[in-house]
Amino acid sequence: MMKIAYFSLEFPPRVFGGLGVYADSISREIASLGHKISVFTLGDGDLRRRQTRRGISIFRETALPMRDGWEPFLSARTHAWGEGVDFLHDLMSYNQLAAASLRERGPFDLCVAHDWLGLPGAMAAKRSEGMPLIYHVHSLEVGRETAPNRQIVDLEVKGGAIADGVITVSLAMREQLASLGIPKEKIEVCYHGVETDVFSPSKIKAKRIEELRERYSIGEEDEVILFVGRLEPVKGVIPLLEAMPEVLAEHPRAKLIVVGRGTLEDRVRAMAEPLGESVKVVSDFLDLDAKIHHYALADLCVFPSLYEPFGIVGVEAAAMERPAVVGASGVSGLREIVDDPSSERPTGVHVNPHEPGDIAWGIKLVLEDPERMREWGRNGRAKCLDLFNWPRAAKETLEIYERVVSSRR
């Protein structure tokens, strides 16, 4: 049995994206195998500071207001963060408090930093406690931002150099990490999973589907296209909307449902307006049941991300037997999740997400043959059952942990 410490800024109920979903799912799976997981995460002053949940010990630290004391020491580069400086102060305060909490509750066999957000605390734990460190990279600043923050890039590279092992989420991300100078032999790939017994066609309730059809004014003959994701430039929602007039010219009964929030929401709504009833924009937060039934409502899903290290939505859609059109240029884990028509068992189509015409072509290709579309969906679920599941992810992750711990003995 190992005692493992996780540094993760997100952990239920504070989940904002794939990082929180991963930290929750992998910790539960590893704990179920008899290992002790302690998660050091960020609190908000209201959540319980100490909690045991599903066999996992959770320690939440509420950041202290440190700006007055630290601001005189900031460089011009840091002041360029603007309002983000407050986030930086809170982040460093959380990391310091979490590392101190870990010291009180140790010893641990291993600490794991989930993304750069937990790196400072984990690196401090490695230095002070002498324990091995794994840096789990879910994404990188050079891909997330059009104008990357050099300080974050430097921290990510330093984390890769100091860590005893690096785990990332796709072969594409392994190549990007290596391009930054992190030794390739140090980098292991372990795919995320999806709860295939939760994201399952067997969970569909006909009444819920009818309610959604009524809500979105969808008829039995309509072809439903679903986008789920943050409304940010990197997710490709703008080129998707630009593709819709070409799709509608050939498939006038197509209906696009856009689910998400973000900085582009006003622009997305403005672009959707001329398309009338053909596009619905939903900024509501979808709970698990609602998300499952939105996937079930769809005929196909479209995730034209410009940069996507993995793509949780890709495996969720596949588990629900929905084919997908995905962005496959640059760093794309979706390219590894979705098998294109040239493969033995296709599950969707790869497109250039920078080109609305290519996105339209991919959507029309899927829609042109309903029976083939359903077959591709079944292929996607079969792939999830085989490859993208949490028991496999936990087994492979533990093997990496054990190798790193053994190498330090």
Q: Which domains does the chain have, with CATH numbers?
A: 3-193+389-408 (3.40.50.2000), 201-386 (3.40.50.2000)
Cα separation values, 329 from 308, 310, 336, 360, Å: 10, 13, 12, 16
Residue 216: pLDDT over 90: yes
Kindly state the tokens that stand for 61.
Answer: 């630290």
- CA-to-CA distance for 381 and 384, rounded, in angstroms? 5
Q: Report the pLDDT averaged over residues 344-352.
A: 97
Phi/psi-derived region of residue 178, left when phi > 0, alpha when psi is between -120 and 50, beta in every other case = alpha
Statement: the pTM of the whole predicted model exceeds 0.85: yes
Q: Report the pLDDT averaged over residues 182-210.
A: 94
Of all helices (H) and strands (E), which one includes residue 268? helix 265-272
Of all helices (H) and strands (E), which one includes residue 313? helix 312-319
pLDDT at 81: 87
Q: Report the pLDDT averaged over residues 284-311.
A: 94
User: Where does the pLDDT of residue 51 fall: very low under 50, low under 70, confident under 90, or very high at 90 and above?
Assistant: very high
What is the chain's mean pLDDT, rounded? 94
pLDDT at 117: 94
When computed from its CA atoms, the radius of gyration of the chain, rounded to whole angstroms, is 22
DSSP 219: -
Helix (H/G/I), strand (E/B), else coil: 11? strand
Q: Report the pLDDT averaged over residues 9-22.
A: 86
Measure CA of the first residue to CA of the last residue in the chain; give whole Å. Answer: 16
Cα separation values, 358 from 256, 260, 300, Å: 17, 23, 16
Q: Report the pLDDT averaged over residues 185-206.
A: 94
Closest alpha carbon to 127 in 152, 95, 149 = 95
Which of 83-92, 152-161, 277-286: highest mean pLDDT? Answer: 152-161
151-171 residue pLDDT tens: 999 999 999 999 999 999 999
